[in-house]
Amino acid sequence: MVLQAEPIFTAVEQVEENHGPCRKILLTPVGRVLNQDLAADFSKEERLLLLCGRYEGFDERIRQGLDWTEVSLGDFVLSGGEIPALAVLESTARLLPGVLGHEESAKQDSFGESGILDHPHYTRPAVFRGMAVPEVLLSGDHQAIEAWRADQARQRTLKRRPDILPDSD
Ligand code: JDN
């Protein structure tokens, strides 16, 4: 079964009449893969409209006649775009002022301002089942701690996601 054009056009037109123009996002496995840059782009919009794919997809005229940004979550099969829509919603909303408790939080996470993976985190106790917190983190030397974190983030990214590591010169 394929989603028909008529009810989709009517719904989109009604939403835009009632609320104003929207950045229209189509969740579909043939879209571009969601990443932090795209979420940042969405977070600058006044209003988003999300349309989820289901069944075998959309009548192609839904693509032709309306201006969509087509978004996928990656190369795996789902039954519908609802979960991808929630991923768009959360990745976008957390970039809006006041959504996170601490404004710096979003910058520090993996793919945040640095664009690479986050460093390891520890909490108490200093030793858990024989596994110790790295000594530098207990040193109170904030400059040394920052250097350790930057190095760990880089090493981790090199090992796990070399594809996102910026070229060093
Ligand atoms: O519409 B869908 O079934 C849908 C599936 C996937 C997706 C976005 C939409 N991203 C990854 C699978």
pLDDT at 168 over 70: no
Q: Is 72 inside any structural domain?
A: yes
* 33: helix, strand or coil: strand
According to the model, what pLDDT value does residue 108 have?
A: 77
Query: Residue 40 maps to which CATH number?
Result: 3.40.1280.10
Mutation pick for ligand 1 pocket among 72, 82, 88, 89 (CB with most ligand atoms within 8 Å): 72
75-124 pLDDT, tens digit per residue, is: 999 999 999 999 999 999 999 999 998 776 777 788 988 999 999 999 99
From 63, 94, 149, 156, the catalytic residue: 94
Phi, psi at 87, each rounded to 5°: -65, -40
Q: What are the distances in angstroms from CA 117 to CA 17, 93, 106, 112, 133?
A: 42, 20, 13, 8, 20
Structural domain including 132 reads 114-164
Q: What is the pTM of this model?
A: 0.92
**Number of domains comprising the chain:** 2
CA of 131 from ligand 1 middle (Å) equals 41
Is 89 in the same domain as 8? yes
29 is catalytic: yes
Q: Same structural domain for residues 7 and 81?
A: yes
Residue 80: both structure tokens together: 């519908």
Judge if 27 and 80 occupy the same domain.
yes
Mean pLDDT score, 15-33? 97
User: Which pLDDT score, from 0 to 100, does residue 109 have?
Assistant: 84
